[in-house]
A and B are shown apart, each in its own frame.
Chain A
Amino acid sequence: MTLLRLEPRGEASRAMVYLTPLIAVALTLVSGFLLFWAMGFDPVKALHAFFIEPVSSVRGVGELAVKATPLVLCAIGLAIGFRANVWNIGAEGQLTLGAIVGGGIALAFYGEGGWWLLPLMIVGGMVGGALWAAIPAFLRIRFNASEILTSLMLNYVAMHLLNYLMHGPYRDPEGFAFPESRLFEADAVMPLLVAGTRVHLGSLFALLAVAGGWFLMARTFIGFQIKVIGLTPTAAGYAGFKQTRIIWLTLLLSGALAGLAGLGEVAGPIGQLNPTISPGYGYTAIIVAFLGRLHPVGILLAGFLMALSFIGGEAAQIALGLPKAITGVFQGMLLFFLLATDVLIRYRLRFGAKTAPKTIAGRAAA
Chain B
Amino acid sequence: MSADLALIGPVLAAMLTAATPLLFAALGELVVEKSGVLNLGVEGMMLVGAVCGFAVTAQTGSSSAGFAVAALAGAGTAALFGVLTLLLLANQVATGLALTLFGVGLSALIGQGFVGIPIPDVPELNIPGLTDLPVIGKALFGQDVVVYLGLAMVPAVHWFLYGTRRGLILRAVGENHAAAHALGYKVIRIRFLAVLFGGAMSGIAGAYLSLDYTPMWAEGITAGRGWIALALVVFATWKPGRVLLGAWLFGGVTIAQLHVQGLGIDIPSQLLSMLPYLATVVVLVLISRDIARIRLNAPASLGKVFHPDA
Measuring CB to CB, which residues of chain A are less than 8 angstroms from any residue of chain B? 6-8, 87, 89, 139, 142-146, 148-150, 152-154, 156-157, 160-161, 163-164, 167-168, 283-284, 286-287, 290, 323-333, 335-336, 339-340, 342-343, 346-347
Contact = CB atoms under 8 A, between A and B. Distances in A.
Contact of A326 (B83, B105, B231): B105
B125 interface: no
B285 A145 contact: yes
B120 interface: no
Given A154-B281, A335-B98, A6 B270 contact: no
A168 B40 CA distance: 35
Contact of A153 (B101, B109, B281): B281
19 contacts: A8-B307, A143-B289, A144-B291, A145-B288, A149-B284, A152-B224, A153-B278, A154-B281, A160-B277, A163-B270, A164-B270, A168-B268, A287-B98, A323-B108, A329-B102, A329-B105, A335-B101, A335-B102, A340-B83
B227 interface: yes
A328 B47 CA distance: 13
User: Which residue, of B88, B101, B288, has the highest number of chain A Cβ atoms within 10 A?
Assistant: B101
Interface string B270-286: 11011001101100110
Nearest to B267: A164
B223 interface: yes
Most buried by B among A149, A161, A346: A149
Given A8-B309, A153-B280, A336 B98 contact: yes
A283 B90 contact: no
Nearest to B40: A148
B183 interface: no
A96 B103 CA distance: 23
A332 B234 contact: no
Nearest to A339: B90
Given A326-B109, A331-B105, A342-B90, A144 B288 contact: yes
A325 B280 contact: no
Nearest to A275: B270
Given A143-B289, A332-B101, A339 B277 contact: no
Interface residues of B, number: 49
B90 A340 contact: yes
A339 B102 contact: no
B290 to A, nearest CB: 8
Contact of A160 (B93, B219, B270): B270
A6 B309 CA distance: 9
Nearest to B88: A343
Given A87-B93, A161-B270, A339-B90, 13 more contacts: A8-B309, A144-B294, A145-B289, A150-B285, A154-B281, A157-B277, A325-B219, A329-B109, A335-B98, A335-B101, A335-B102, A336-B84, A343-B90
A150 B93 contact: no
A280 to B, nearest CB: 8
B93 A327 contact: no
B108 A167 contact: no
A143 B285 contact: yes
Contacts of A343: 88-90
A139 B224 contact: no
A150 B281 contact: yes
Contacts of B285: 139, 143, 145, 150
A153 B227 contact: yes
Interface in B248-279: 268, 270-271, 273-274, 277-278
Contacts of A283: 101
Contacts of A139: 281, 284-285
Contacts of A154: 277, 281
Interface in B39-81: 40, 80
B105 A328 contact: yes
Nearest to B295: A144
A336 B80 contact: yes
A157 B40 CA distance: 20
B274 to A, nearest CB: 5
Interface string B136-164: 00000000000000000000000000000
B93 A148 contact: yes
Given A8-B309, A323-B112, A156 B105 contact: no
Contacts of B310: 8
A284 B98 CA distance: 10
Nearest to B101: A332
Nearest to B226: A152
Contacts of A150: 281, 284-285
Contact of A149 (B99, B104, B231): B231
Contacts of A164: 268, 270-271
B233 to A, nearest CB: 10
Contacts of B307: 6, 8, 347
B103 A156 contact: no
A67 B294 CA distance: 42
A359 to B, nearest CB: 17
B278 A157 contact: yes
Contacts of B105: 325-332
Contacts of A333: 102
A64 B294 CA distance: 46
Contact of B288 (A146, A290, A335): A146
B288 to A, nearest CB: 4
B230 interface: yes
Nearest to A334: B98
Nearest to A357: B309
Interface string B29-44: 0000000000010000
Interface string B195-210: 0000000000000000
Nearest to A150: B281
Contacts of B288: 143-146
B94 interface: yes
A229 B214 CA distance: 45
B91 interface: yes
Nearest to A283: B101
B95 interface: yes
Contacts of B289: 142-145
A224 to B, nearest CB: 22
